[in-house]
């Protein structure tokens, strides 16, 4: 199978799975077994990043194991639907932002397979695959989402939400949305030579970012309510996107593989590195 999905908050299953695969990795267990479902005639690997039932907080996700497991099963195109908070009044709850840039504000997360002795510096100027992005934008429009083609996500460590001062700073930098999981997923996908696309479902306004300068704090309950209302629509976007891949981008001429490194299952990375 060449296509995979990392399910985010509120998205713990893809549909009717035909196979469940337990994968062992040099970096420990992934968040959950990988399930395989047929979409548009293609076998698609699905892994919920927070575990089945949302038991793993963002700063505890074993991202290296998750990406390694999917790559070892043959996944070369990876979709990453995720919840994002809006930092701009025109990015409204219920909208979809197909991400094109990120800013990493996390700390303490293992974020590379190249811990030595083999060294490599992956190209990461453009974290998201342009081919997958284009297909996802068209699919989201077909599912009647209000779609924003491009957007910068600032990734924070979590699990807490931002302070008011942090939110003001993020907005002052011109960043569009905020999230807790896109890094290091995107960086590790690049090291593995995988095409990676981040589909951000806007679930809330970050504190002070609303149309009226709304100062209400973000709550987990409000976030999950928007997720519940839109999870089937997100599935529809993913299904349309995957069905379209037989034509657009099937040759993987986007440059993502060349921009990565030599990190491949069984090769350069040292799983025992600190």
- Residue 187 makes CB contacts below 8 A (sequence gap 6+) with 111, 112, 122, 124, 127
Residue 23 CA to residue 3 CA, distance in Å, equals 16
* Residues with catalytic function: 204, 206
Label residue 172 exposed, middle or buried (CB < 10 Å: 0-12, 13-18, 19+).
exposed
Q: Which of 79, 83, 76 is nearest to 58 (CA)?
A: 83
Each residue of 32-67: b (16+ CB within 10 Å) or e? Answer: bbbbbbebeeeebbbbbbbbeeeebebbebbbbbbb
């Amino acid at each position: 199978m060449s296509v995979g999905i990392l399910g985010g908050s509120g998205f713990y299953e893809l549909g009717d799975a035909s196979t469940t695969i337990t994968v062992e990795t040099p970096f420990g267990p992934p968040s959950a077994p990988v399930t395989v479902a047929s979409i548009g005639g293609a076998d698609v690997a699905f892994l919920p990043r927070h575990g089945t039932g949302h038991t793993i907080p963002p700063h505890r996700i074993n991202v290296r194991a998750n990406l390694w497991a999917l790559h070892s099963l043959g996944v070369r195109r990876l979709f990453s639907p995720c919840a994002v908070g809006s930092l701009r009044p025109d990015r409204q709850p219920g909208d979809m932002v197909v991400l094109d840039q990120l800013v990493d504000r996390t700390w303490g997360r293992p974020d590379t397979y190249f811990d030595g002795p083999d060294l490599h510096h992956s190209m990461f100027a453009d974290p998201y695959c342009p081919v997958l992005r284009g297909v996802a934008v068209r699919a989201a429009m077909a599912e009647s989402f209000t779609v924003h083609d491009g957007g910068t996500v600032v990734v924070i460590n979590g699990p807490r939400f931002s302070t008011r001062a942090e939110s003001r700073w993020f907005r002052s930098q011109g960043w569009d949305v905020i999230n807790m999981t896109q890094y290091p997923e995107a960086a590790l996908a690049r090291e593995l030579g995988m095409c990676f696309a981040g589909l951000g479902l806007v679930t809330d306004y970050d504190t002070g970012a609303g149309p009226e300068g709304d100062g209400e704090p973000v709550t987990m309950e409000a976030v999950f309510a928007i997720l519940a209302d839109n999870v089937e629509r997100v599935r529809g976007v993913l299904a349309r996107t995957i069905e379209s891949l037989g034509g657009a981008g099937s040759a993987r001429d986007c440059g993502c593989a060349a921009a990565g490194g030599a990190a491949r299952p069984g090769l350069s990375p040292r799983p025992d590195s600190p």
